[in-house]
Chains A and B, each alone.
Chain A
């Protein structure tokens, strides 16, 4: 491992995370109670860990107080990422339609300020047809909303949601002595990273154990297990694991901008290294494809700048 520096005695490899341009939107989901807003947000961001298999990546950005939402009710902000505007439109429509519209008392609002919106997606503009002609359009404070009659009253939905050019695939890998240490470090990192705005960690609990490489021996697969980082393949493959590594976990970050991803990686890596090697953390590295595929490179040596 070519070391860029150490944090609490944990070596940080001099490498970089390679990330890709994506299209992203933020949806603010509100409800009469925080619990119902959460139900909708959890449902709307389910099965959205990777564009490879899910078509989009989504996650809860943060919970919002009643003062922060357009309708003065408790809410949750979610981010959805896809590879193209067309894909994002499709997944926004499906998720808002199947998971927010269906959830009691919820409403859905655009969460992207118009100053940074690159283009506009149809939100209520697409969902309104569920109203079967009984839907009502209403211009409120300069924004158009759709009121769709549903069985508990009306589903209120902003007509459009802003699209921004986001970034997907920021990442770092935690190399640990054993599974307990890896999970402990990952949980510390996720807790710290969840406080950073404009980012989501799309995998379960924010953590990936099945890091992948491009390609496979099987023609049908475009990605397969990252054998260089699998502890059970040490001795069989060209392992990248330093001596004493028993488990590796990865944290993937999607963000609305590069600065937010860099900030999330910074606080995440520092939290993962908390306790140093005594906590079982052997090293930190990041995943890339040689820098040829993704235009965004997040160098770990920036931690020491």
Chain B
């Protein structure tokens, strides 16, 4: 059996919700039946067959080829199987997913992994704002699973994050880990202003020193903590950059805050240039 492949025929005129293209929705259906399925767009409904050329037959391995940012909610609600996106993914990639894996060979939009509870998302390029956060109106961000971003992330990454792992190899924008509740976020590059804004608990590890931290974070000293050592070593499976960061295993500068709220979060900063 070969992977079930959806090749985008043309860019849709507006955003289209393609969350229906996931294993649980397609299992047991023929290509003809799949082509007849509906996808909801902005005030219009598209048939799968009109938007995509459908090939292959293994619904546990789905490929969306030639994707562009108008395809939103790719893999939303995914609970098993593999989903590969070649091209750009729109907003809400992997929203509320509970299992399985999504690989994006390209960039992804805002709110990837919003409210996710399990599974793994890998994005080879950059992602937009609010990666690993929650949908608008919800009180918690991602609550499980792993997001790995090889490029840069936009503002408010890990906003209200509750549990899980958000790994960013590149830079992150402003207000990284804002309102964070728990979980772990690692940014190997730079972060923008006010990292950890209103952070209650959780761990933010920074590979490079920010230009300044909020005044509501207190310096706790330089530490080589066993738990952080274990944490960083466990990240080696996510790529060489995380592996080498763990191997260097420096004492990290530990800041505690945000004292503007609960103040039990920690920002761990590797020594070196900002």
> Does B182 sit at the interface, judged by CB under 8 A?
yes
Which residues of A in the span 116-147 have a Cβ within 8 Å of any Cβ on B? Answer: 134, 136-141, 145, 147
Q: In the docked arrangement, what's the CA distance between A200 and B175, Å?
A: 54
Given the known A-B contacts A136-B201, A138-B203, A140-B234, are A147 and B227 also in contact in the complex, defined by CB atoms under 8 Å?
yes
Residues of chain A lying within 8 A (CB to CB) of residue B225: 147, 153-154
A153 touches B231 (CB 8 A): no
Q: What is the distance, in angstroms, from A157's C-beta to the closest C-beta of chain B?
A: 10
Tell me the complex Cα distance, A136–B225, Å.
Answer: 13
Closest chain A residue to B233 by CB distance? A72
Q: Which of B180-232 contact A (CB under 8 A)?
A: 182-184, 201, 203, 223, 225-227, 229-231
Verify if A180 is at the interface (C-beta below 8 Å from B): no
Given A136-B201, A137-B182, A153-B225, CB of A71 within 8 Å of CB of B264: no
A-B contact count (CB 8 A): 41
Please encode chain A, from 133 to 169, with 1 for each CB lying within 8 Å of some chain B CB and 0 for all others.
0101111110001010000011010000000000000
Q: Is residue B22 contacting chain A, with contact meaning CB distance below 8 A?
A: no
Query: In the bound complex, what is the Cα–Cα distance between A67 and B187 (angstroms)?
Result: 29
Nearest-CB distance from B230 to chain A (Å)?
A: 5
In the assembled complex, A9 has its CB within 8 A of some CB on chain B? no
- How far is it, in angstroms, between the C-alpha of A154 and the C-alpha of B203 when the chains are bound? 15
Bound together, the chains give a CA A145 to CA B228 distance in angstroms of 11
Complex contacts, B266 vs chain A, CB 8 Å: 136
Which A residues are in CB contact (< 8 Å) with B201? 136
Asked if A71 and B184 make an inter-chain contact with CB atoms under 8 angstroms apart, the answer reads no
- Per a CB cutoff under 8 Å, which of B164, B182, B184, B227 touches A154? B227
Rounded to whole Å, the gap between the CB of A139 and the closest CB of chain B is 7
**Measured CA separation A228–B126 after assembly (Å):** 80
- Asked if B264 and A139 make an inter-chain contact with CB atoms under 8 angstroms apart, the answer reads no
- Are B230's CB and A140's CB within 8 A? yes
Nearest CB of chain A from residue B258's CB, rounded to whole Å: 15
B135 located at the interface, meaning its Cβ lies under 8 Å from any Cβ of chain A in the complex: no
Known: A138-B203, A139-B163, A139-B184. A156 touches B227 (CB 8 A): yes
A72 to B227, CA, bound (A): 12
Contacts of B226 in A (CB 8 A): 71, 107, 153-154, 156
Q: Is A179 an interface residue (CB 8 A)?
A: no
Contacts of A147 in B (CB 8 A): 225, 227
Residues of B211-262 contacting chain A, CB below 8 A = 223, 225-227, 229-231, 233-234
**Interface set, chain B 139-154, CB cutoff 8 A to A:** none
In-complex Cβ contact of A134 among B182, B184, B230, B264 (8 A): B264
Inter-subunit contact A70/B163 (CB<8 Å): no
Contact of B229 among A71, A134, A136, A141 (CB under 8 A): A71
Q: Which A residues are closer than 8 A to B by beta carbons?
A: 70-72, 107, 134, 136-141, 145, 147, 153-154, 156
